[in-house]
Structure 1
Amino acid sequence: MKVGLIGLGIMGYRIGANLAKAGKLHIVYNRSADKAESFAKEYKVSKASSINELVEKSDVIITMLSNDDAVKNVVEPIIPIMKGKILIDMSTISPTLSVSLAKKIESVNGTMFDAPVIGTSTFVEQKKLVVLVGGPKEKFDIVYDILKETASSIVYMGSNGMGLYAKLVNNLLLGSYVAAIAEAYNFGLKAGLDPQQIANLLSSLSSARSPTTELKMPKLVKGDYSTQFATKHMRKDLEIIMRESQNLKVITPISSLALQLYKMAEALGYSEFDFVSVLEVFKKLSPKS
């Protein structure tokens, strides 16, 4: 079974590397051809000159793309040639869009799974990703066999769209939680506490400590906003949650507020930086003493 990968961004590149090292990846495509070229040379896989070429030469197609428009623009044109093929979309996009695309692929006798991930680029490198899968259960074993090379947990969540809804549950909490961590950290700084004391409190002593505080507190203390998960992507995910909450008729006031904070961080120039840069909203907008 030949596997192709479309999308060699921060996450896709590392996922592809893990699959290639395990002998599970055969061909790649990226909008920036030079990145695909360098990846193909480094990991001894083929480089497709077009998306259609990759699909035609693959039995399973994995996509790791940035947003709804990117996935729609890649997937819709290839639907006519998806007969007998499997698409595993690892992007975090609107469940509504994903279900719609899955139905179209099913209509030509193809199969689509949504398989968004929990974890940063560091987690990919350590093969500690959590993959949340939605799609037909009878073919889940194929997805599992491929993605086990880049993840520690691969969980079947239900029918198409359920993987994405599960991912949004996680990111609703994560986005709100990191904004709260940044607010608490800034409050402590303004009160005169030592930054390391605050970090130790939140990451080791607090009843609210978590793997997220362990990962993000050192970055906050150092002012290290190097990207593990970009602010623009968290803002995008919270926007999806806002739209889906309207469809589901459920209130999401806390994540709606977090969304505005990440928009402010982007307005301050931190769109491409790690989403812990939301700290700068609190630092720069708090009155000067």
Structure 2
Amino acid sequence: MKVGFVGLGHLGREIAKRLLSQGVDLIVWNRTREKAVELGVPIANSPADLISQVEKVFLIVFDSQASEEVIFGKNGLTEGNIEGKTVIDMTTNHYAYAERAYHELKSYGAYYLDAPVLGSVIPAQKGELTILVSGDKEKFDENAELFKKFCKSVYYVGKAGNGTKLKLINNIVLGGFMEVIAEALAIGELSGFDRELVINILSDGAGKSYILEVKKQKLLKEDFSTHFSVDLIYKDLHYAQDLLRDIKAFSFALQNVKEAYGKARSMGLGDLDFSAVYKVFKRN
């Protein structure tokens, strides 16, 4: 069975490659056709054309606006033969959009799985992502073996929107860890210490974490080639602020962490890896 795939950005491309390496036949569509050509697989003319050729489609795009355009826009999935088909949306969406997309696709006789992933390029290459799936349990069960082809951990978390809420909660921690590591590293250097020494001490001390381990070389070399961009974490933290507002929660940290990435964006670093937030605190 062929599977559709939409969205060949940094992470989407690696997930698609992983699926291909695991024997999954893909048909793809991407707004920038050149990125699709690189995979050497059939390319649909539009999302509507794509859904007419497959029973299920993976989708991973920048934000909820982009997801909505692919699913419900002109030549979108809903303009094709979508009845009975399943859309597996791995985009980090706004939770309210995920809930709405689920119900709107029901009206087309189709299914929507809200299925964001945890992890970025390197875990995707190794098949070690984590996926948080919400929506109809029977559709989760139907696709569970497919998820295991690129994920080490697969969670079913209930009704549509729950997957996105949990992803946003995770990314509060993700963004906070990266921001405070970057801040501490810059403070260490400004105090006269060698960068590598500070990183090693943080690695053996309070900074010991998965985030520091995977970003250590980027910080040492100031190689901020993108795995997960500043723009993406800023967007996710903005969605997280909406979640806190709606559940009447509060955070002392979230606003300040988000604005550190906002400052990075204002410095022209939005397209770079989110570890580039280090440059906000580093004195040139």
Give the TM-score, by structure 1 length: 0.93
Any stretches of 5+ residues in structure 2 without a counterpart? Answer: none
Q: 1:278 is matched with which residue?
A: 277
More helix by share: 1
Partner letter of residue 180 of structure 1? Answer: V
SS of the residue aligned with 1:47?
Answer: coil
The separation in 1 between residues aligned to 2:183 and 2:273, in whole angstroms, is 16
1:54 maps to which residue?
Answer: 50
Q: What is the letter of the counterpart of residue 228 of structure 1?
A: H
Alignment match, 1:157: 157
Matches within 5 A, 1:27-46: 27-39=27-39, 41=40, 45-46=41-42
SS in 2 for 1:123: helix
Distance, in Å, in 2 between the alignment partners of 1:283 and 1:210 is 21
Q: Equivalent residue of 1:113, what SS?
A: strand
Q: Helix, strand or coil for the counterpart of 2:132?
A: strand
Residue 239 (structure 1) aligns with: 238
Matched, 1:184 2:178: no
Q: 2:247 corresponds to which residue?
A: 248
Deviation string, structure 1 residues 159-208 (Cα, Å, up to 9, x no partner): 101111111111001101111111111111111122111111112x1144
Distance 2:43 2:27 in 1: 6
Equivalent residue in structure 2 for 1:73, among 62, 69, 77: 69
SS, match of residue 193 in structure 2: coil
Aligned to 2:14: 14
Contact between 1:5 and 1:25, CA under 8 Å: does it hold in 2? no
Rounded Cα–Cα distance in structure 1 between residues aligned with 2:152 and 2:54: 25
- Where in structure 2 are the equivalents of 1:119-268 lying within 5 Å? 119-203=119-203, 205-268=204-267
Q: Distance in 1 between matches of 2:139 and 2:64?
A: 24
Structure-2 separation of matches of 1:167 and 1:237 = 9
CA distance in 1 between partners of 2:45 and 2:72 (Å): 18
Where do 5+ consecutive residues of structure 1 fail to align?
none
In 2, the alpha carbon distance for the partners of 1:275 and 1:236 equals 12
Change beyond 3 A, Cα 1:33–1:218: closer
CA contact (8 A) 1:83 1:109 kept: yes
Q: 1:95 to 1:196 in 2, by over 3 A?
A: same
RMSD value, Cα: 1.4
Q: Distance in 2 between matches of 1:114 and 1:82?
A: 17
**CA contact under 8 A between 1:88 and 1:143: conserved in structure 2?**
no
Q: Which amino acid aligns with 2:106?
A: E
CA distance in 1, matches of 2:126, 2:249: 36
Say if 2:47 and 2:71, in contact at 8 Å, map to a contact too: no
Once the two structures are superposed, residues 46-71 of structure 1 have per-residue CA deviations (whole angstroms, 9 ceiling, x without a partner) of 21011111011110011010011100
Rounded Cα–Cα distance in structure 2 between residues aligned with 1:154 and 1:32: 30
Q: Which moved more, 1:189-198 or 1:263-272?
A: 189-198
Deviates more, 1:262-271 or 1:23-32: 23-32
- Mean alpha-carbon deviation: is it higher for 220-229 or for 65-74? 220-229
Counterpart in the other structure of 1:82: 82
Per the TM alignment, residue 245 of structure 1 is displaced from its structure 2 partner at its CA by 1.7
Q: Secondary structure at the match of 1:4?
A: strand
Aligned-pair CA distance for 1:127: 1.0
Return the alpha-carbon distance in structure 1 between the equivalents of residues 32 and 222 of structure 2.
31
Residue identity opposite 1:170 in structure 2: N
**Quick one: which amino acid aligns to residue 263 of structure 1?**
G
Q: Which amino acid aligns with 2:45?
A: S
Aligned residue in 2 for 1:102: 102
Distance 2:45 2:138 in 1: 33
